Amino acid sequence: MMKPIRRLAGPAILALGLAHLALPAAAQPRDALTLCQTLEPPILDPSGGAAAAIREVTYGNIFEGLVAYDRNGKVVPALAREWSTSVDGLVWQFRLRPARFHDGSAVTAADVKFSFERAVAPDSKNAQKWIFEPIAAIATPAPDLVEITLKSFTADFLDGLAMGDATIFSAASVGKAATEPVGTGPYRFVRWQRGDRLLLERNDNWWGPKPALKSATFRFISDPQAQVSALLAGDCDAHTNLGAHEAVAQLRADPRLAVTIGRTEGETIVAINNAKAPFSDVRVRQAMAMAVDRRLVNEGAVSGLGTPIGSHFSPNHPAYLDLTAERPVDLAKAKALLAAAGYPNGFAATLRLPPPAYARRSGEIIAAMLGQIGIRATIEPLEWPQWLERVFRNKDFDMTIVAHVEPLDVNIYARDTYYFGYQSPAVKEAYARTKTARTEPERLEAFRAIQRQITEDQVNLFLFMLPKITVARKGLTGLWPNWPVPANPLAELRWE
């Protein structure tokens, strides 16, 4: 198991790391930054894995796409200076700005074509292939002009291109993207000490305005208490998604630190294996929902800082429907439903939990709440690699708790082979409508239909939106208060 070993090894590595970093940090204190984050990315190639930690390091720093999300979730130009669409919405033209990769080569239309074709290739590990699937052809009429023709009208095509999964690579350096990434962004990769830290340095050839910070270090501290200690000790200048929600009061009291409570796009859910009995019976899932008081889970797991949700949809989005009152807590009714489904005495099941504190804490509360209607949940803690292998890939689980942090990720309910095994023609149809909708109201209505359907089918237990707790030393400005996408664009930061 990795957790204990990491705990034991942490202090030793930390001591070694500080020894040679202390000097430069002291000499030039105001253009360097140590940013701490909870999870270490497994790889650094955002087109090769779903882990949010990859984007937290690379998005807008090492790598860029044609377009990007800004801090408000709006799509803004990145490598594409401007773009236009044909009247029928099928042909997109992107005009590239003069930009260079960190190895000096120019960014051309051919790189865009290469990157998107690579992303959708059968052997690609891209986690969001849906972005590229509508593409019929990519033409490169000029080195700075990309012309993408779609198979059919796709309303969220541009939104997809703003995600980290649609990063632009060069064919020459993509092979090393996982460990020694070469991108186009304002910061270049310097060094990665696995298990501890990753060093970035300003790319002075970047196309945008010169960033204030000359260098930045990402440090990975998974233990919530160690995160708090590192902030108090000054080892971290900032933590952009603190795990220790209960320490907020303590950190707020420290005059050197500023604490901001924001929102992520992380729908925290109890994912249920819909393909497996007894969970394949909708009555069982509805009964479970009636036993779980999400307000209390929010309170106990994240100190009440999250926002309760009744479906898999973010309150930040205009199509959001508040469905939290849909299936109120009712133990008697829940037991009756279980009995009707053939489980008058409940049943035993496992609850496999990944490491984050929100999951472990919610898990204990959920197990106790389900116990009230006779569902005996055994908690099994897993480390992330085990969780990804057993739960996410092999679908070997009854229940798990995880936050889905991608924006507008309700499309996972329309997939055929997603880990929670839900199949619904109605949701697939509604999801298709979100793609073909010609007007914004039509599109929003389609999203609302999905929300209603998955709540009706109680696919999973929808708990709360994960809060984003940003703690930074006073004087550091420019951190994103919310996370429309998990990202820490360093170019926007400066010391006052």
Q: Which residues bind other proteins (CB under 8 A)?
A: 1, 3-5, 7, 224-225, 228, 244, 246-247, 249-250, 296, 299-300, 357, 361, 363-365, 367-368, 371, 378-381
Q: Report the residue number, 52 or 370, with the smaller CB distance to other proteins.
A: 370
Shortest distance, position 265 Cβ to other proteins, whole Å: 25
Q: Report the residue number, 92 or 387, with the smaller CB distance to other proteins.
A: 387
Shortest distance, position 244 Cβ to other proteins, whole Å: 5
The secondary structure of 247-315 as a DSSP string is GHHHHHT-TTEEEEEEEEEEEEEEEE-TTSTTTTSHHHHHHHHHH--HHHHHHHHHTT-SEE-SSSS-T
Q: Report the residue number, 353 or 459, with the smaller CB distance to other proteins.
A: 353
Q: Report the residue number, 229 or 260, with the smaller CB distance to other proteins.
A: 229
Count the neighbouring beta carbons within 10 Å of the beta carbon of residue 125. Answer: 14
Q: What is the 3-state secondary structure (H, E, C) of 321-375?
A: CCCCCCCCCCHHHHHHHHHHCCCCCCEEEEEEECCCHHHHHHHHHHHHHHHCCCE
Residue whose tokens read 């942090």 = 405
Shortest distance, position 7 Cβ to other proteins, whole Å: 7
Tell me whether residue 235 is exposed, middle or buried, using C-beta atoms within 10 angstroms of its C-beta: 0 to 12, 13 to 18, 19 or more: middle
Q: Report the residue number, 80 or 377, with the smaller CB distance to other proteins.
A: 377
Cis upstream peptide for 255 (omega within 30°): no
Say whether 384 sits in a helix, a strand or coil. helix
Residue whose tokens read 């939104």 = 159
Shortest distance, position 329 Cβ to other proteins, whole Å: 13
How many angstroms separate the Cα of 142 from the Cα of each of 56, 94, 108, 169, 255? Answer: 33, 11, 9, 18, 55
* Listed residue (131, 162, 126) closest to 51, CA to CA: 126
Q: Report the residue number, 1 or 15, with the smaller CB distance to other proteins.
A: 1
Positive or negative CA dihedral for 337, 339, 344, 346? negative
Q: Report the residue number, 25 or 296, with the smaller CB distance to other proteins.
A: 296
Asked if residues 160 and 130 have their Cβ atoms less than 8 Å apart, the reply is yes
Distance CA 54, CA 189 (A): 13
Asked if residues 273 and 421 have their Cβ atoms less than 8 Å apart, the reply is yes
Q: Report the residue number, 326 or 364, with the smaller CB distance to other proteins.
A: 364
Shortest distance, position 450 Cβ to other proteins, whole Å: 31
Detail the DSSP E strand segments found in 99-214: 135-142, 145-150, 187-193, 197-202
Shortest distance, position 300 Cβ to other proteins, whole Å: 4
Q: Report the residue number, 3 or 428, with the smaller CB distance to other proteins.
A: 3
| Ramachandran angles phi, psi of 352, nearest 5° | -90, 120
Shortest distance, position 298 Cβ to other proteins, whole Å: 9
Distance CA 130, CA 163 (A): 12
Q: Report the residue number, 3 or 317, with the smaller CB distance to other proteins.
A: 3
Distance CA 14, CA 58 (A): 23
Q: Report the residue number, 205 or 225, with the smaller CB distance to other proteins.
A: 225
Beta bridge partners of 77: 67
Distance CA 7, CA 51 (A): 22
